Structure 1
Amino acid sequence: MNNVFNTGLKYTKLIAMTTTLAVAGMGSALASDDNHKFNLALESGDRDSASGKSMQMWADLIREKSDGRMKVNIFYQGELGGQQELFDQLVKGNIDMMLTWPQTSYDERLGVNYIPYLTLGWDDALKAYGEGGWLKEIFGPLYKDIGLKYFGPYPEGFGGVATKGKYATSYDQAVEQGLKVRSAPVFPLPQTVQAMGFQAVPIDWNEVYTSIQTGVVDGDSSNVIYWDYEYFRDQLDYYVHTKHNFSSYALLMNDDTWEELDAFDQAIIEDAAQQVINKQFVDAKIEDEKWIKKAQEAGMQYIEPSAEDMQVWVKKVREEVWPIAEESLGKEIMDEIRANASVPK
């Protein structure tokens, strides 16, 4: 096994033991007899996707641990609306739970999840995003401020740039090719892609396929290869693994809904969420490597930039985007980032 898998496995065993004991330790005397029905939404991913299966796991665990008292209805991508609309409904309490990329419309400081070249490898990402990690300590209070309960991250891996007809493995090539790529409309992802030499076009997820098909953009950016292969493989030819962002969703619940639950039911939901998160930390790298292979077998060219080109991108993006990010995130958070971010080798 590689070091990342060993680290994730040890982490999983420790947290699983801790959370299980915590729930058991509350004792049957404190068990709830309340019935609840929750609506859980995914901004992207159908029922057969990794995220769809993970959310089904969360729902199943909640039902099992509550002896059927708590049930979760799952709504997959596009069934209830787009990214921002769903996030708005979560904050309002019309949706109870959600797996989503953090939306910065309520608090720009949540953009810390998208700071480019924050971590440069799997070991560093696990330490930053995992239980007790320095990034998780930042996230909890930020979500609380906008009325959401943060259970933790749902990591996918390092994003790249997938394109049609032409590609770029460096800043100069991106500029020369005039490549227009879709970016999620969340700060500072468009600014990051722009600093890398691409022309960033913010587009909601549900409109990406048509935008590539009609030539509005030449491709997609900031996603792990799974999404570009699974949803756009008939449109895209290349995937350049720029690794400029660590793709990590957030597992969230409306805080008012959370606070209405008694301690026993809160423990059930949080324990179930932690089991999902723990499993994903172990599975994410393996899953990413699986889809890289599948994409290659299907004819998509997978390309890793040279170490020299990566260093240029890291340096340029950090110099251009990090100061802009500080205006939104504040000096305190950016000081934490500068103190803990990966050091280029």
Structure 2
Amino acid sequence: MKFLMTTVAGLLASVSFATACEITLRSSDTHPDGYPTVEGVKAMAAEILETSGGRICIEVFPASQLGEEKDTIEQTQFGVIDLVRASFGTFNDIVPVTQTFSLPYLFRNVDHMHAVMDGPIGEEIGAQFEERDLVVLAYYDGGARSFYNSQRPINTIEDLAGLKFRVIQNDVFVDMMDALGAVATPMPYGEVYSAIQTGVIDGAENNYPSYDSSGHAEVAKYFTLDEHLMVPELVAMSKTSWDALTPEDQTLLRDAARNSSTTQRQLWAEAEAASEEAVIEAGAEIVRDIDKQPFIDAMAPVYEKYATSPEAQDLVERIRATE
């Protein structure tokens, strides 16, 4: 990952110093510099700088320098910011179809998610963003959330019975835990470590890098790779800024964005692998290759409640049918 970051940074530096930009686009990200999504957009910036002959520059602002996700999405809609990287979850009130992607066990695995987002379904969803003055350029990987706890390995759905899990304040998450026989306990993320340590809760759910960087592996050593939630990330552009480009430049930018998704996904996979290795060395016990079908079957009432429209039900069926 360090090699890729160095390559991107070096290319940006070598090209930008030698040219003067005719078009400068500002891009926002809430994650810190060096995070896979930030480096993905930097890769896009490096490619468009090169393919445009130095005419188009993307200036990347990480670490919420331009505001938090919801604020920067609104600014992008109005053309104040040109580009924004954000999670699908942040668009739920703006582009309703994104709510479907918060349903548990929607994707079989990461490769399935990529196939869905890079195919016709991803294009259809992108069209709905344009109705909200946003142009989707690329879909990124935000990782998969899995369960971890301090009490016992979770090998089957029965092992979840009665365990108290921290979840974000979201009705889908609460209903998911209820359907699995566990107890949902919404609380701020910063309180999770001490809550597990003192027995207020038994565990939580998140991806490998968060499990690692938060120190939660120290107090909840049983990690089950069930991957119950994979919410895509995306890079979207202000339609105002997009329409100001020539068709030729639009093609260059879209190609650079799509190529950047390969870089971002590779960086994310490397970050996950590094965190997995770190938590195992720290004593975490990883449960893999569980039979997910009973977990999926248990979600029937959740889907009945949240995928109520014929459109949502059709989307779920087409996602599941995607190879």
Q: State if a TM-score over 0.5 links the two structures.
A: yes
Report the Cα offset of residue 276 of structure 1. Answer: 0.7
Instruction: Give yes or no for the alignment of 1:152 onto 2:138.
Output: yes
Report the Cα offset of residue 163 of structure 1. Answer: 4.2
Aligned to 1:119: 107
Report the Cα offset of residue 96 of structure 1. Answer: 1.9
Aligned to 1:341: 320
Q: Which structure 2 residue ranges, 5 or more long, are not aligned?
A: 1-19
Judge conservation of contact 1:159–1:246 (CA < 8 Å) in 2: yes
Aligned to 1:38: 25
Aligned to 2:258: 274
Aligned to 1:29: none
| C-alpha separation in 2, matches of 1:193 and 1:75 | 37
| C-alpha separation in 1, matches of 2:179 and 2:93 | 22
Aligned to 2:192: 212
Aligned to 2:305: 324
| C-alpha separation in 2, matches of 1:332 and 1:340 | 12
2:235 partner SS: strand
| C-alpha separation in 2, matches of 1:227 and 1:40 | 24
Instruction: Give yes or no for the alignment of 1:136 onto 2:110.
Output: no
> Structure 1 pair 191/91, CA: closer, same or farther in 2 (3 Å)?
farther
1:240 partner SS: strand
| C-alpha separation in 2, matches of 1:86 and 1:291 | 29
Aligned to 2:11: none
> Structure 1 pair 150/284, CA: closer, same or farther in 2 (3 Å)?
same
1:98 partner SS: strand
Judge conservation of contact 1:162–1:240 (CA < 8 Å) in 2: yes
Q: 1:282-293 maps to which residues of 2 (within 5 A)?
A: 285=269, 288-293=272-277
Aligned to 1:28: none
Of the three residues 47, 62, 70, the one matched with 1:76 is 62
Judge conservation of contact 2:77–2:133 (CA < 8 Å) in 1: yes
| C-alpha separation in 2, matches of 1:194 and 1:94 | 42
Report the Cα offset of residue 320 of structure 1. Answer: 1.6
Of the three residues 162, 167, 183, the one matched with 1:182 is 167
Cα shift readout 1:284-319 (whole Å, capped 9, x = no counterpart): 556534432232123333223732xx22211011x0
Q: 1:60-71 maps to which residues of 2 (within 5 A)?
A: 60-71=46-57
Report the Cα offset of residue 101 of structure 1. Answer: 0.9
Aligned to 2:230: 246
Q: Could you tell me which amino acid in structure 1 is paired with residue 302 of structure 2?
A: V
| C-alpha separation in 2, matches of 1:169 and 1:84 | 37
| C-alpha separation in 1, matches of 2:177 and 2:96 | 18
| C-alpha separation in 1, matches of 2:109 and 2:157 | 21
Report the Cα offset of residue 339 of structure 1. Answer: 4.1
Instruction: Give yes or no for the alignment of 1:94 onto 2:80.
Output: yes
TM-score of the pair, normalised by structure 2: 0.77
Report the Cα offset of residue 150 of structure 1. Answer: 0.8
> Structure 1 pair 281/78, CA: closer, same or farther in 2 (3 Å)?
closer
Cα shift readout 1:20-47 (whole Å, capped 9, x = no counterpart): xxxxxxxxxxxxx98222221223x322
Cα shift readout 1:229-277 (whole Å, capped 9, x = no counterpart): 1344566534321211224211211222211222222122111101111
Judge conservation of contact 1:149–1:252 (CA < 8 Å) in 2: yes
Report the Cα offset of residue 169 of structure 1. Answer: 4.9
| C-alpha separation in 2, matches of 1:85 and 1:275 | 27
Q: Could you tell me which amino acid in structure 2 is paired with residue 212 of structure 1?
A: V
Q: 1:165-176 maps to which residues of 2 (within 5 A)?
A: 168-176=154-162
TM-score of the pair, normalised by structure 1: 0.73
Aligned residues: 296
Aligned to 1:12: none
Q: 1:11-50 maps to which residues of 2 (within 5 A)?
A: 35-43=22-30, 45-50=31-36
Identity value in percent? 17
| C-alpha separation in 2, matches of 1:290 and 1:71 | 32
Report the Cα offset of residue 84 of structure 1. Answer: 2.7
RMSD (Å) for aligned C-alpha atoms: 3.1
Aligned to 2:297: 315
| C-alpha separation in 2, matches of 1:99 and 1:149 | 12
Judge conservation of contact 2:102–2:229 (CA < 8 Å) in 1: yes
Judge conservation of contact 1:163–1:181 (CA < 8 Å) in 2: no
| C-alpha separation in 1, matches of 2:183 and 2:68 | 23
Aligned to 1:107: 95
Q: Could you tell me which amino acid in structure 1 is paired with residue 179 of structure 2?
A: A
2:32 partner SS: coil
Of the three residues 226, 243, 263, the one matched with 2:209 is 226
